[in-house]
């Protein structure tokens, strides 16, 4: 998704060559290059302390099992976003946060950053109103239950393949 107008002044952008970058959107009014904007989000493979169950959720009326995820706030780092989103959606606190991989997701113009998050204290588990349903699955059942063809599935399968 390429921006068409300058976010500073609203002038229509044109492509202009920038050494070592190629053709980059440029604002003739501001006399500045405008590199593309995109969203950044995190997703989590949430695993219990025994490392034998994975949490999958359903949201927004969709009957598809996905990973816990959320967008970063401006100025927030990835690890802080993981802790915040996990607490907001589940009430849980991570004992381990491990970065897995990232992938750009074109449909929402978002860089998705995936983590493994180990949690303890499941007595604090309480989903918020963003979560319609949830379930803890064994590794093999999580692999079967995750939304087929989704980025969540891609992240989960890559994680499971590395751990086997």
pLDDT 10s digits, 93-107: 999 999 999 999 988
Q: Give the chain's residues under pLDDT 70.
A: 1-2, 164
Per-residue pLDDT at 68: 98
Report helix, strand or coil for 3: coil
pLDDT for 107 equals 87
Q: Across the strands, what pairs with 54?
A: 47, 137
Helix (H, G, I), strand (E, B) or coil at 5: strand
130: how many CB neighbours lie within 10 A of its CB? 13
Distances from the Cα of 56 to the Cα of 45, 46, 82, 137, 144, angstroms? 8, 8, 16, 7, 11
pLDDT at 164: 66
Q: What is the predicted pLDDT for the residue at 38?
A: 87
């Amino acid at each position: 998704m390429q921006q068409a107008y300058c976010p500073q002044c609203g002038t229509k952008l044109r492509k202009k060559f920038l050494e070592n970058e190629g053709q980059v959107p440029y604002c003739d009014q501001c006399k500045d290059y405008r590199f593309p904007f995109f969203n950044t989000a995190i997703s989590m493979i949430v695993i219990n302390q025994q490392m034998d169950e994975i949490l999958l959720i359903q949201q927004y009326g969709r009957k598809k099992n996905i990973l816990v995820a959320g967008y970063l706030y401006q100025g927030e780092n990835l690890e802080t976003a993981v802790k915040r989103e996990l607490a907001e959606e589940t009430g849980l606190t991570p004992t381990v946060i491990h970065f897995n991989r990232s992938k750009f997701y074109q449909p929402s113009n978002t860089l998705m950053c995936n983590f493994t998050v180990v949690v303890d204290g499941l007595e604090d588990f309480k989903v918020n109103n963003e979560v319609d349903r949830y379930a803890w699955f064994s590794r093999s059942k999580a692999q079967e239950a995750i939304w087929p063809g989704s980025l969540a599935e891609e992240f989960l399968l890559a994680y499971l393949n590395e751990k086997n």
